[in-house]
Amino acid sequence: MGAALASAALFAADARAAPGTDADAVTYRRHVMKTRGEQAAALGMVLQQKGPAENAAIHARTIALTAKAALKAFEAQVPGGEAKAEIWRNWPDFTKRLKTLSDGADDLAAIAEREGLSAMQAKVMSVLSCKSCHDAYTLRQGR
Ligand code: HEC
């Protein structure tokens, strides 16, 4: 952790130099995606009353943020990892899906804050539809 932060600081000082390598682009966006997966898992636990209800909105907002971060993360046109080249061939569709996820997750957070967990529960499946994008654009078929 300390070393990672130290190197992050080094890179920050050099922010206008050439962006990272192709491998960096893949590693970076996978960190963003894993964050999304972890937050979805945490929210799932909350909805099953295995985690604190107070955090439901936080998890939904964090998912929205990961979708915003992903928009930038995929600008580097680097197939690899589990990502298919179709992402960049169908860029408007791909970015629209990320925008829909981001807006939807923000709405979920607002619903949780205003109306509580069961109101959020009723909407969660339609908003957090991860599978259709994975089926279209990744090697993660069916999940
Ligand atoms: C707009 C399309 C899109 C949507 C919507 C989407 N994903 Fe993904 N996801 C991807 C792509 C593309 C990858 C592959 C990235 C790579 O390997 O470079 C991925 C990969 C992942 C990974 C694997 C990360 C790793 O490297 O181990 C997880 C976990 C994940 N997504 C979770 C989610 C969850 C949870 C949701 C729904 C809340 C979601 N995704 C919605 C496009 C999407």
- For ligand 1, the distance from its centroid to the CA atom of residue 61, given in whole angstroms, is 16
Domain membership of residue 142 (yes or no) is no
| DSSP H helix total and E strand total for the chain | 7, 0
pLDDT at 15: 47
**Residue 103 is part of which domain span?**
2-137
What's the total number of domains in the chain? 1
pLDDT in tens, 34-84: 999 999 999 999 999 999 999 999 999 999 999 999 999 999 999 999 999
**Atom of ligand 1 lying closest to residue 82 CA:** 17
pLDDT grade, residue 11 (50/70/90)? Answer: low
Residue 95: which CATH number?
A: 1.20.120.10
Pocket of ligand 1 (CB under 6 A): 26, 29-30, 33-34, 36-37, 40, 63, 81-83, 87, 94, 97-98, 101, 128, 130, 133-134, 137-138, 140
* pTM attached to this predicted model: 0.88
